[in-house]
Every structure is written in structure tokens, then in C-alpha cells.
């Protein structure tokens, strides 16, 4: 079953989401995408999850894809986290008694970790793909910019060549009309500086079972971010795996089936 719908957040924001369900799902996965992209880039991942017997809910973050909001703009990173909770609640309401997990990539990994700190006890576990957990050097120049007086200053999306070793993935990304060609100073500083600082202060509250995955040659989010998450959560059930030579989008590399299988096997043991 494939459904595409809009849901309205408490502040009136319209959020686009897709639901893909096999018959008699064994688990539900809520997917959270990264900066500048959209949930439609996860069609293959969802197809494989469905084949494993897992249902999937995915959505476009506000300001992204087919969701509402000013493109690439956000005034409060907590809205990303609270929006995600809407879809967890929807998945749980529509699938009572079925365990719900979360999978977050890159900025979606930040949102996923933030969700774990803010909303304990609602999920069976979380999976991270190249998560942003620590401050990244690429955003250091933003600290010198005037976000207070010019929050909507456009910042070009200029890292496409580094997302994946597969040139076809890069070309598809660059030609995708729903991928943002620029974001804003406010979103980037609010999430990747202020949000990451908040996360560091609150990771002590995180205790979900978690699987942390990262590309060994990720040149956008250093693998040190994954190791920091692994070393600084109170979770008793946690695993980490670094894939040698993989770039940032490990779910789009040529060896993506191995990554997805690793995720499936981890989830299967916790259903």
C-alpha cells in the first residue's frame, strides 16, 4: 500500500508524507531525511524495507520538498523534532501493537538524536546514517555572519560532489527539482551550531537502543560525529559500524544493499 498525504502541524504548517506498507508489517520505520533533500530520495530504501516486512513512514521536513514553509528556512530547530513526533504518533495510532523505529540521515540524524533526548520511551530503537552530532568545520564561517539582521541570507548548496562515490547519484541529486539549491543562514546556524550545542548538553538523556552507521570517507560529516554519539549516550544497547571508503550517503553507495541488510538484521533482533 502506497499513500501520499499532507498533515497539519499544530502551528498550521502543512507537511507532506508518504506511507508504504506491506501486508502484516513486523515493524514500522519512520525515516527522517537530511538538509536540502526530500523523502522521495528514499524510494529504494523503502522498497527494501517493505521486502523485509517493514512498513515505512517518511516525510519532507518543513521548508523542504513538498512540505510548506519558506524554502530552506527554519527559525527553531525544535520544530523539526516536534514535527517528527507527529509522524511517530501517526504511525503508532495507525499500527497499534507494532514496534516503531526511526532512521535518520545526516541532519535527519541530528533530528533523530534530538528526538531521542526529548521523547524517550516512544520507540523501540533508532538507526543513524552519517548523523550530525557535533559542530562541523564547514559551518565555522557562519559564525562570522550577521544572522540576527539578515536571517534569510541565502547559502548555496555546494557539496553535491561529496555526497556519494556514484556519479549517477550525484547527477540525480543535482538535477532533482525538489533538492534545494540553497538554504538560509538562519536554518544553518540554528540547527548546526545552536542545535548541535543543545544536543551536546542533552545527550545524557538519550538511552534508546541505537545503531550508528557512517561512511569512513565521509567528507561532509566526519565520522568523528558518529563516534561522539556512540561514546556519549547512556544507551546500554548501542552498536556502531564505519564503512571504509564510503562517502556521506551510505544508503546510496553501490554497496547500499549491505547497509540496508545491516539495518534489517539489527531491527529484526529487537522486534
Catalytic residue among 20, 218, 225, 235: 218
The total of other beta-carbon atoms located within 10 Å of residue 245's CB is: 10
User: Is 262 noted as a catalytic residue in this protein?
Assistant: no
Radius of gyration, CA atoms only, the chain:
17
User: Is 158 noted as a catalytic residue in this protein?
Assistant: no
Catalytic residue among 67, 106, 225, 235: 106
Catalytic residue among 38, 64, 214, 248: 248
Q: Rounded to whole angstroms, how far apart are CA atoms 128 and 32?
A: 10
User: Is 106 noted as a catalytic residue in this protein?
Assistant: yes
* Residue closest to 262 by CA, chosen among 197, 203, 214: 214
Which residues are known to be catalytic? 106, 218, 248
Amino acid at each position: 500500500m502506497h499513500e501520499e498525504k499532507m498533515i497539519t502541524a499544530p502551528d498550521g504548517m502543512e507537511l507532506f508524507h508518504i506511507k508504504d506498507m506491506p501486508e502484516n508489517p513486523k515493524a514500522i520505520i519512520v525515516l527522517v531525511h537530511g538538509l536540502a533533500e526530500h523523502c522521495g530520495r528514499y524510494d529504494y530504501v523503502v522498497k527494501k524495507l517493505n521486502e523485509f516486512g517493514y512498513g515505512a513512514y517518511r516525510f519532507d521536513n518543513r521548508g523542504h520538498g513538498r512540505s510548506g514553509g519558506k524554502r530552506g528556512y527554519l527559525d527553531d530547530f525544535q520544530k523539526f523534532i516536534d514535527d517528527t513526533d507527529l509522524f511517530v504518533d501517526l504511525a503508532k495510532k495507525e499500527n497499534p501493537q507494532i514496534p516503531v523505529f526511526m532512521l535518520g540521515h545526516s541532519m535527519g540524524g541530528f533530528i533523530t538524536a534530538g528526538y531521542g533526548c526529548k521523547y524517550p520511551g516512544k520507540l523501540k530503537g533508532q538507526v543513524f546514517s552519517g548523523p550530525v552530532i557535533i559542530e562541523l568545520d564547514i559551518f565555522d564561517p557562519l559564525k562570522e555572519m550577521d544572522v540576527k539582521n539578515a536571517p534569510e541570507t541565502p547559502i548555496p548548496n555546494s557539496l553535491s560532489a561529496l555526497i556519494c562515490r556514484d556519479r549517477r547519484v550525484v547527477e540525480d541529486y543535482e538535477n532533482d527539482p525538489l533538492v534545494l539549491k540553497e538554504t538560509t543562514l538562519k536554518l544553518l546556524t540554528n540547527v548546526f551550531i545552536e542545535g548541535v550545542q543543545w544536543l551536546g548538553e542533552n545527550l545524557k538523556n538519550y538511552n534508546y537502543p541505537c545503531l550508528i552507521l557512517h561512511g569512513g570517507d565521509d567528507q561532509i560529516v566526519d565520522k568523528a560525529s558518529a563516534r561522539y554519539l556512540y561514546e556519549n549516550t547512556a544507551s546500554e544497547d548501542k552498536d556502531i559500524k564505519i564503512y571504509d571508503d564510503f562517502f556521506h550517503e551510505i544508503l546510496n553507495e553501490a554497496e547500499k544493499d549491505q547497509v540496508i541488510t545491516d539495518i534489517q538484521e539489527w531491527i529484526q533482533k529487537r522486534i
